[in-house]
A and B are shown apart, each in its own frame.
Chain A
Amino acid sequence: MATIVKRVVGVLLALVGLALTAVGVWFATQLGTSGTAEFAVHPATTDPVVVGPDVLNRVDADVVVTATPTEGGTVWMALANPSDANAVVGDTKHVAVTGVSVSDWSLLTTTTGTGAAPELGAADLWRQQDDAKGPVTLTVQQSGAPETLVVKTDGGQLSSLTLKVTDKSWFVEAVVAALIGLFLLVAGVVLATSRRRHHHADVVVPPVPAAPAAPGTIDPDRPVGAEDGTEPTVPLQVPLDHTVVASPLEAPTAPDPADGPDRLDGHDVAADDVPDAPAAQTTDPHDPHDPEELTR
């Protein structure tokens, strides 16, 4: 069960890592080392285009806006308080930029209102304005936020409107994301493909043969040094054959499976090969898959 979970987690990690790597690399290549994001729209309209603070003022970096009219046209672009821009544009027909789409680096727009817009340039509510025959560029500084930008053309349509934001940290973040994704991918693959580790089977202690108390050995039924504690003791004789002899002084215990080469039986026993343990035999209560258990 734990193996299945491990593999599932590994696959998920790998997938997340792959996605993160792909996204990170894509952003890094799109933003470039300068971290410049450029969003564009081609409204092809003579109506005013309104870009609100929810698009202009959600970052700390300056936003450079460039409006380009169709050939021969003049474009006028201005910044104002959001409420002022809304008041002067009002319910007249205009194109509102509602957000950006990162997938295709475009500006999301919607057309709303009815009727022709008033003469916008005449109003005394613009903080900054510029007009020219051909492209006009205006930099929105965040110190003046919140602001709304209004673009209007004369003698032609608005061919394109681009917003450019430069934040060097975006490139760094994209690279970091790619690296994290790569790490997760590798970790996930390793986790998912790691084979189940072979481990030593439960070790069964063979039955203890009845060993008679040999001369010179301690009779467990007799108290040691029952007289006065000065009697000499005789060293315990350990059998040299490959069987385990349980010490009559200890409760029968299983040998440490992690000891490997020190195993007394000297054989790697597969779990399936292990016969059912008799009632006197003990079973390791710990998880044999646990590396800690194996190496203890």
Chain B
Amino acid sequence: MTPRPLATPKALSRLVASTTLLGALVLAGCGTQDALVGLHPAPVEQTAAAPLDAEGATAVAARLLAAKDAAAAGDTKAARAARAEVLTGDALRVADAQAARTGAQPEGTELAPEAKPTIVAQSQGRQWPRAILASTLDESTNTQWLHAMISEKPDQPFRIASSVPMFGGAELPALGEQLAGAPLLDTAQKNGLETSPADAVKAYAAAIAQPKGKATDVVAADDQFATGLKTAAAAQATALGKLGTLAQSHDPRLDDAVTFRLADGGAVTFGLLKRTDTISVKPGAKELVLPADYAKLVGKKKVTKQLVLNNLEPVVMVLPKTGEGRVIGASDLLVSGRGR
């Protein structure tokens, strides 16, 4: 009897087909089941972007600007605590100084502009501190305000760090795509600029000193604010005549400065200057009689030797990547004084 072959080609092909089918079933049960039921890996987070969407940033800004008014209410201690919930840095310093001078701040002052905010930019990335740059339009004066808001730590909310009115006709260059975010810069570093923002603010402060400022080519000193100071100082010097002299200095306070990178590689910096007006009574004068505002501030109606008045001046400076910087907004607030 002839032995039968163990497996013919056709039987073998069936065996292979069956094995393939089983293999496919096994694979379907293991590796591809996620795809079958529509499971996929979670998308990767894009960290090089603004931390909040436009809606979220607008909500934060609106909440803070609305809360600024409420923060002025209550007794001194409660009002201070309430302000600290909404304000920080230079804005808190200015608000505290104003509250110390005038008491509870009435609504509608320049520190409490009430308008719908527009988000200009957010800081880029997921790290802290984070910042929001918002603008509001005060329709009563047709003044555009810029607000820098800061969140220092993950569990801390945003607070307003600076609010500065822009000059008429001034422009803030673009900060880039809003959702992409604008990098926050260290104010003390050059960051690819010809001069660091801190040095530029210092140069500006020196340039607008009175009676004679220190000339600089880092930043222009012919803006509305500088011109106004110069004009006022000249008028005051004229008024004093032979009775006294006026010296005006500006001291940069940049510990809480906020600097964003502009889309063109430049920077915009929110800083604070402390201005000191010193009126020295000339030997020929017997005394200087103070106006009512100054008298209330100093606590004296007349001085015989010197009058010192302190102002806080929030400023916004734009520094292009190359060339001369320019202040696009500033304000001043008389906060304290002394006389002897």
Contacts and interface: CB of A to CB of B under 8 A. Distances in A.
Contact of B15 (A5, A13, A61, A286): A5
Contacts of A170: 37-38
Nearest to B53: A127
B35 to A, nearest CB: 11
Given A84-B154, A88-B154, A123-B156, A59 B45 contact: no
Contacts of B53: 127
Contact of B5 (A54, A87, A167, A287): A287
A118 B43 contact: no
Interface in B14-37: 14-15, 18-19, 21-22, 25, 36-37
A58 B7 contact: no
Contacts of A283: 2
Contact of A118 (B6, B45, B155, B158): B155
B152 to A, nearest CB: 11
A237 B155 CA distance: 112
Most buried by A among B2, B42, B43, B45: B42
Contacts of A56: 42
A130 interface: no
A169 B14 CA distance: 34
B142 interface: no
A124 B45 CA distance: 18
B51 interface: yes
B165 to A, nearest CB: 25
B193 interface: no
A285 to B, nearest CB: 9
Contacts of A146: 42-45
Contacts of B51: 81, 84, 125
Interface string A278-296: 0000010011101010000
A59 B39 contact: yes
Interface in A139-177: 145-146, 167, 169-170, 173
Contacts of B179: none
Contacts of A120: 155
A57 B44 CA distance: 10
Given A87-B126, A125-B52, A12 B22 contact: yes
A72 to B, nearest CB: 26
Contacts of A53: 42-43, 45
A2 to B, nearest CB: 4
Contacts of A81: 45, 51, 126
Contact of B38 (A169, A277, A288): A169
B157 A145 contact: no
Interface string A45-72: 0000000111011111100000000000
Contacts, number: 109
B187 to A, nearest CB: 23
Contact of A124 (B42, B44, B60, B126): B60
A122 interface: yes
B330 to A, nearest CB: 28
Contacts of B42: 52-54, 56-58, 145-146
A59 B157 CA distance: 32
Given A5-B15, A9-B18, A118-B155, A287 B38 contact: no
B43 A87 contact: no
B16 to A, nearest CB: 11
A104 interface: no
B154 A276 contact: no
Given A1-B6, A5-B11, A127-B56, A60 B38 contact: yes
Given A123-B151, A283-B2, 17 more contacts: A5-B15, A9-B18, A9-B22, A20-B25, A54-B42, A58-B39, A58-B40, A58-B41, A59-B38, A84-B51, A84-B126, A87-B128, A119-B155, A125-B51, A145-B43, A173-B36, A292-B10
Interface of B: 1-2, 4-8, 10-11, 14-15, 18-19, 21-22, 25, 36-45, 47, 51-53, 56, 60, 126, 128, 151, 154-158
Considering the complex of A and B, which 4 residue pairs feature the smallest CB-CB distances, nearest first? Answer: A53-B42, A118-B155, A57-B42, A87-B154
29 contacts: A5-B7, A9-B19, A9-B22, A13-B21, A16-B22, A52-B42, A56-B42, A57-B42, A57-B43, A58-B41, A58-B42, A59-B38, A59-B40, A60-B40, A61-B38, A81-B45, A81-B126, A84-B51, A84-B126, A122-B157, A123-B155, A124-B151, A124-B158, A125-B51, A125-B52, A127-B53, A167-B38, A202-B2, A288-B4
